[in-house]
């Protein structure tokens, strides 16, 4: 538990330090705003579980562990969500990213739903739905001449995952099928450096590092099957999930910026029955997007991005995270206000 | 660091567009200085490249800065250039 608290303390101290820091020339009033958004730490476009509204259709996917029909399949993915702004505090009055010498900090409530539906098996079953919500503090400062530092800290969040009923009806025909309760609370941090002018005066780049860890020593899932109180499952142990990401947006052309965004994270392959011969393992799981996005500050254009996405690694959905070398690919569409 | 010379009325418009309120004098002064720091040099650069070059007054620069503040773009230069292009179109260039 002490290990879990250390990053929280560091994050809080950094936030306080940055909030108190004020250069002599920046004689500015604090702007406190409720329920207004500020772009302090926007999710990386290739982040696999962002709180945003995204469709991946048409999409294709690797066969799932309990699929009836063999082989890859047409499977679309839907994410619905948003980061709900609660309170922001900044020494910058004007909207937008933090300029040099300015900082902003705030509290958000991220809420999101993530669904994947299989169109190959009979009745086109919803395979899995994951729900996430929590509390999130974000910070950004124009601490450097042409670069911004951003921090994201989620002190508490919850993820609840649910296999689809039609998928489960078919899966239970296999005597070896187990319905695992993947549900946990976690904390998460992120560090971001953002800037522009890498190859020309109008491009944008982002470098990210983050990490996630469940609060409970039980890990990511219950040690008993759903509908049973008997502990038959071995808890997850290698629970820390580090991530890294990079993103590059080119010069705007015809109202959008072509971009490439890449996220990689060392994900745990859930092993519900660990033994010395079959220990827990991890797999670096990566997600890449290449597409076109509206520039920051665009309003009145609901379609924010369209892109090609390729994912490879641990299946990101619920108890299917026991599946390694999973892949999915598709055309993505992000909508927003 | 240069001090903003933007007229208060245009800054009131920009402040109100963003926050739907008048704000205090110090808030608007700060807002004015922030817009000046973000966009003024870019506005002057874009205007100087027009054919013929344009020497915008403080009132015009202020309105261009407010437009740039509400323009899309990955950088302040892009936003300012978009605002100036709209202004030049308006002027019939």
Class of domain A2-20+33-335: mainly beta
Q: Give the residues across from A75 on adjacent strands.
A: A118
Chain A residues with CB under 8 Å of B46 CB are none
| C-alpha R_g of chain A | 21
Count of domains for chain B: 1
DSSP letters spanning A191-240: EEEEEE-SSSTT-EEEEEEEEEEESSTTTTEEEEETT--SB-SPPP----
N- to C-terminal Cα separation, chain B:
32
Nearest chain B Cα to A195, which residue?
Answer: B75
Chain-wide mean pLDDT for chain A? Answer: 92
Nearest chain B Cα to A200, which residue?
Answer: B75
Nearest chain A Cα to B79, which residue?
Answer: A297
Query: ipTM of this model?
Result: 0.91
> What are the pLDDT digits (tens) for A249-290?
999 999 999 999 999 999 999 999 999 999 999 999 999 999
Q: Which domain holds residue B26?
A: 8-91
Chain A residues with CB under 8 Å of B70 CB are 297
Q: Does B74 touch chain A (CB under 8 A)?
A: yes
Position B3 in a domain:
no
Q: Report the largest interatomic distance among the alpha carbons of chain A, rounded to a whole angstrom.
A: 71
pLDDT tens, residue order, chain B (93 aa): 799 999 999 999 999 999 999 999 999 999 999 999 999 999 999 999 998 999 999 999 999 999 999 999 989 999 999 999 999 999 988
Task: Point out the residue among A29, A94, A196 whose CB comes nearest to the CB of B75.
Answer: A196
Task: Point out the residue among B15, B24, B77 whose CB comes nearest to the CB of A202.
Answer: B77
Q: Does A337 touch chain B (CB under 8 A)?
A: no
Position B52 in a domain:
yes
Position B33 in a domain:
yes
CA pair distance A79, A290, nearest whole angstrom: 18
- Whether residue A140 contacts residue A148, with contact meaning beta carbons closer than 8 Å, is answered with yes
> What are the pLDDT digits (tens) for A17-70?
544 454 434 457 889 999 999 999 999 999 999 999 999 999 999 999 999 999
Position B83 in a domain:
yes
Q: pLDDT at position A23, please?
A: 45
Position B1 in a domain:
no
* Residue A78: Cβ-neighbour burial (10 angstroms; 0-12, 13-18, 19+): middle
Q: pLDDT at position A28, please?
A: 72
Domain ranges within chain A, ordered by starting residue: 2-20+33-335
Contact B72 A299 (CB under 8 A): yes
> What are the pLDDT digits (tens) for A145-199?
889 999 999 999 999 999 999 999 999 999 999 999 999 999 999 999 999 999 9
């Amino acid at each position: 538990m002490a290990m879990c608290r250390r990053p929280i303390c560091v994050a809080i101290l950094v936030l306080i330090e940055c909030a108190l820091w004020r250069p002599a020339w920046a004689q500015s009033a604090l702007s406190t705003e409720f329920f207004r958004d500020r772009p302090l730490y926007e999710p990386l476009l290739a982040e696999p579980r962002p709180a945003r509204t995204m469709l991946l259709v048409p999409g294709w996917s690797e066969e799932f562990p309990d699929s009836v029909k063999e082989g890859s399949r047409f499977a679309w993915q839907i994410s619905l969500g948003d980061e709900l702004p609660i309170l922001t505090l900044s020494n910058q009055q004007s909207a937008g990213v933090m300029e040099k010498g300015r900082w902003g900090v705030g509290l958000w409530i991220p809420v999101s739903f993530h669904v994947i539906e299989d169109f190959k098996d009979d009745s086109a079953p919803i395979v899995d739905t994951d729900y996430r919500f929590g509390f999130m503090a974000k910070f950004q400062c124009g601490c450097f001449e042409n670069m911004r530092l951003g921090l994201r800290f989620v002190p508490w969040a919850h993820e609840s995952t649910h296999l689809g009923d039609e998928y489960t009806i078919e899966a239970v025909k296999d005597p070896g099928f187990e319905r695992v309760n993947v549900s946990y609370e976690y904390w998460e941090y992120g560090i971001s450096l953002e800037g522009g002018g890498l190859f020309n005066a109008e491009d944008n780049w982002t470098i990210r590092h983050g990490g996630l860890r469940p609060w409970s020593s039980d890990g990511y899932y219950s040690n008993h099957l759903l509908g049973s109180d008997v502990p038959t499952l071995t808890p997850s142990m290698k629970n820390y999930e580090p991530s890294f990401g990079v993103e590059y947006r080119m010069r705007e052309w015809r109202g959008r910026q072509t971009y490439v965004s890449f996220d990689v994270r060392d994900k745990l392959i859930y092993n519900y029955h660990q033994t010395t011969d079959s220990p827990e393992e991890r797999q670096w799981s990566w997600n890449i997007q290449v597409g076109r996005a509206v520039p920051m500050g665009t309003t009145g254009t609901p379609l924010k991005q369209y892109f090609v996405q390729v994912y490879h690694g641990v299946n990101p959905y619920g108890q299917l995270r026991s599946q390694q070398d999973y892949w999915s690919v598709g055309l993505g569409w992000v909508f927003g206000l | 660091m240069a001090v903003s010379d933007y007229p208060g009325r245009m800054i009131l418009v920009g402040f109100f567009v963003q926050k739907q309120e008048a704000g205090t004098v110090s808030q608007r002064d700060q807002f004015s200085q922030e817009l000046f720091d973000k966009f003024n040099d870019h506005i002057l650069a874009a205007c100087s490249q027009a054919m013929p070059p344009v020497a915008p007054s403080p009132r015009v620069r202020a309105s261009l800065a407010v437009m740039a503040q509400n323009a899309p773009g990955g950088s302040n230069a892009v936003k300012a250039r978009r605002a100036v292009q709209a202004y030049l179109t308006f002027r019939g260039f």
